[in-house]
Structure 1
């Protein structure tokens, strides 16, 4: 497809502005047809294809149903691809603790006293060399079914991401499928001491584990009788809990279903392994790989490296790392350089919430991308709730200017409240401006959580946990998403007109985002200039410019759900110069929805365009 040599003015009334940072640029300007931006679609694998609508609290598989790998058939994957998706994050694939009898396959039954929910937490992995048996039509062939899903996803031109959870494993970890020569976690531990460098776990010698005291209204499985639900779990000596609790009886709000992995960090916090020299922040993964070749590292490092390479060799294209900042950055250098040696294009995403550690995990830990949760997401959430000002976005952009292209933006994921839930925004449409902003403000990836595109509110009381988030612990249907699935037709046949319109918005935005050369280029905020010089422009609006050699964009967003704002949006003089705009009028056509265009007027080195933004409205204008 021919490259666009036009100037595009994208005026978007949706909130979510990310940060700009230089990413490695290609020598040639990309064409509009080629993906320029990663669009990540997170699916909770056991929920995606479930058509059962019973939704009984604490319901069994037979009562509430469960999705399977096979539900991601060619039709489903085609529709996901058509949404603009480049990568699918299949959440909950590794075999984690579940309340289900798979003893016929040699799998031990899990104890409800140390399992959250009936379906179990995907972050309490029980066997890293197998997949969740719930997800297979034939559990005995569960690995083959997942391998087929990898192949189908690749056939549809998308990449496969799965979770690795290095900080903790299930309270009862049993590696029944270890490759030859791989020893299980804890198999060689000295349990008589709290810490030893090559122990995989931390111990509390002389103290047995005690099940947490439950909340007053909590009973495992909702109070249903179960032979193992007796308030006891045999673990002696007790191990440290996943979130770092050193008590033999952790609190109910601790991650009591998991145990913490030891990476050679002593109980006093000192490191019992080689430290990377500071100048390795500027070195590539090959240099990091070479650094570790002759180093003696703790046993847990080797175990997780082997796990990652195992899945990489299966065709998995990358990993989302749970709670990455709870694991030392040196380990990530060791692990990620090994993965990149196997697959230089691997996608490596870290869940991290400490902005002070961002650069270390990118530069020393060799992460590709990090969650932008505590800065952009939290700020946008406040704005969407009517509590915040768009002025705060400027500081976020500036603070992350050097790494913005490596920050993943999102409005929903499995940990966060659904936009449409009453405790977040109460209405899915309030996410529109934030999504435009998040998807277009920098070079970093944009993520969509399944059901977000049809306004799923997460209203079900599934069992463990409360509504507002779609449950990750129990068997449940996802009603709005199920209406799009339409009993496995994946054609949106049961969606309401409002839900269809919302999904159409996401499809248009993500496809535009994915192929826009300007979004792989430069960034400049014009919000502060317009706040100073433009009448009627206010802190419910945000605007910025993006450009490359062949495309120039201005993005303007109205976050108000009720007010229309009209003003003469200004382009600062230095931007007019940088873009080489000549005197005169530029007729613009709207590209996102094909609505009536506008006129960009350039005179005496200044440029203005009349903008009249309705509540949550968006324009995409192209200069002819």
Structure 2
């Protein structure tokens, strides 16, 4: 079995080569990428990196201020950014018109993208957003025949609700009878009665709330809302989508997700589900009871590696706190138990700050030590975010998204590094020297993860506990482990320090016994393995 390597990309930004950008600009001013830009050349490039799955973010039709390219604008009073959030869905059964060359043929263009992706040997993942919808869900259609119905002809969510009560089992939304919606942004938008927003039960959401969304009412027993959402997932599976990244599932009843996953897999056995989950105490439940294939390990390995990298880079080798210690990597895997293979490891995604940003590692090369751990530590899948492989910094000030270390998902934009990557892939330009160096490193490591049997299938042995007092080994700044499969034994060492390290690694007798490795004159429990590890980097040694 191949190690799943997932590549998250926002089609809106890929292929947009416009250099003349305006802060908070319109789509006419700043441009947009389209489905067609994810062409065979792009897909061949991703396949060459070892990518097995592509998560196309922002495909489902969402609220936007755009009034051209087949779009009907939603209210700018609550849409976040001119382009809008990919998680403020206006139709679960449609794709964004602005992503198509011919908006009226947008579904055909998306189906063609799915076919291209499959032909290139990769699988398609899209978002499933079960907790909330846009404030004007289903009200955008220009065709009278569709009034009050979604793209598949179903009555839109909320159309049959009793709005005279706050809650009712048959209602799709939560209402505040007699109270108007009070938004944190001034304007003329009217919503009476107010509906609860995606993350808060209140008619008056704050600027920090998801005020561009309405929370769905599931109950903890089967309702029509369950059926509507099941139909949506099955619709996309029938289109050829291979997996769903499920947004904020902790806000949705586990009973619903259990029922949904079981039902969908009965019809589409190969479809996979990835959960955005943040409570580590729920990991076992979401894997063993609810049925998710993979879970974000954001609150575990990601947070640990983030703190270790920032602690070492920003302190320039000075004292670090316990929460910045490499020991957290050990503590994390020990807490996971048998769900380790179900964790989705990553160093970037659209919610988190870019590694190369001023808020994280300052330079993409400072994260290589973390990459060796996240990518190689176990058989779990690994995800990277488009542009990560060349050091995209996320330091533009685009509009709704400020200079916060994140590449915007709210604005019409074209990050310079992604322009260079697109043009380079298509033979029409070149990357900068630093970008080329980062890409070459990612190519090498991703290829190794994709091809090496010990990485794809092997067991792991953490060596840190037995090297606390080894020469040159710093338990807070270094991490060492073995991957073993068949006759192959790999020693992998990460150095989080901003300086080169010469380290002696002891492989204890217990490791030889547990891994079923025979000792020899050159490899034994009494002779340390000498390793030189560059600053903020890692090494792989084949011991057999």
TM over 0.5: yes
Band of TM-score, shorter chain: over 0.9
Task: Tell me which residue corresponds to 1:211.
Answer: 183
Tell me which residue corresponds to 1:193: 165
Stretches of structure 1 lacking an aligned partner (at least 5 in a row): 1-34, 215-229, 265-270, 274-296, 586-600
Partner of 1:596: none
Closer, same or farther: CA 455–535 of 1 in aligned 2, 3 Å: closer
Cα RMSD after superposing both structures = 1.8
Partner residue in 2 for 1:301: 226
Aligned length: 523
Secondary structure of residue in 1 paired with 2:436 = helix
Structure 1 segments (4+ residues) deviating >6 Å: none
Q: Post-superposition shift, 1:99? A: 1.0
Q: Give the one of 519, 523, 527 matched to 1:602.
A: 523
Matched, 1:160 2:128: no
User: What CA distance in whole angstroms lies between the structure 2 residues aligned with 1:539 and 1:253?
Assistant: 36
Aligned residue for 1:207, secondary structure, equals coil
The one of 267, 270, 278 equivalent to 1:353 is 278
Mapped contact 1:115–1:257 kept (Cα < 8 A): yes
Shift of 1:481: 1.8
Match of 2:400 in 1: 464
Contact map agreement 2:512 2:519 (CA 8 A) in 1: no
Q: Does 2:63 correspond to 1:94? A: no
Matched, 1:38 2:4: yes
Confirm or deny: 8 A CA contact 1:210 1:232 kept in the other structure. Answer: no
Asked if the contact 1:353–1:374 (Cα under 8 Å) also holds between the matched residues in 2, the reply is yes
Within the candidate set 248, 260, 268, 2:203 is matched to: 248
CA contact (8 A) 1:523 1:544 kept: yes
Paired position in structure 2 for 1:236:
192
Distance 1:211 1:579 in 2: 60
Q: Which of structures 1 and 2 has the larger relative contact order (alpha carbons within 8 angstroms, sep 6+)?
A: 1
Q: Aligned residue for 2:314?
A: none
8 Å CA contact 2:472, 2:501 repeated in 1: no
Aligned to 1:70: 36
Q: Which residue of 2 aligns with 1:620?
A: 540
Pick aligned residue for 2:213 from 239, 258, 265: 258
In structure 2, do the counterparts of structure 1 residues 110 and 607 end up closer, same or farther at CA, with 3 Å as the change threshold?
same
Residues 564 and 109 of structure 1, relative CA distance in 2, 3 Å threshold: closer
SS at match of 1:211: coil
Question: 2:253 maps to which residue?
Answer: 328
Q: Which runs of 5+ in 2 are unaligned?
A: 140-145, 312-319
Corresponding residue number in structure 2 for 1:171: 135
The match for 2:27 among 61, 64, 69 is 61
**Do the aligned partners of 2:492 and 2:541 also contact (CA within 8 Å) in 1?**
no
- Alpha-carbon offset, residue 185 of structure 1: 0.4
Contact 2:491 2:543 in 1 (8 A): no
Query: Is residue 408–residue 445 contact of structure 1 (8 Å, CA) maintained in 2?
Result: yes
TM-score (norm. length: structure 2): 0.92
Q: TM-score, normalised by structure 1?
A: 0.81
- Alignment CA distance shift 1:76-1:356 (3 Å): same
What do residues 49-96 of structure 1 show as CA deviations (whole Å, max 9, x unaligned)? 111122310111121110000001111100011011000000000000
Residue 133 to residue 550, structure 1, CA distance change in 2 (3 Å): farther
Alignment check: 8 A CA contact 1:96 1:122 kept: yes
Q: CA deviation at 1:181?
A: 6.2
Deviations 1:77-120 (A, max 9, x none): 00011011000000000000111125x95x64311001000000
CA drift at 1:534: 4.2
Matches within 5 A, 1:61-140: 61-102=27-68, 108-140=72-104
The question of 1:529 aligning with 2:454 is answered: no
Cα deviation, 1:418-451, whole Å, max 9, x if unaligned, reads: 1111111211111111111101112211000001
Structure 1 residues 462 and 541 mapped into 2: Cα distance closer, same or farther (>3 Å)? same
Question: What is the DSSP-based 3-state SS (H/G/I as helix, E as strand, rest coil) of the residue aligned with 2:244?
Answer: strand
**Conserved 8 A contact 2:375-2:449:** yes
Equivalent residue, structure 1, for 2:376: 440
Q: Distance in 1 between matches of 2:471 and 2:232?
A: 56
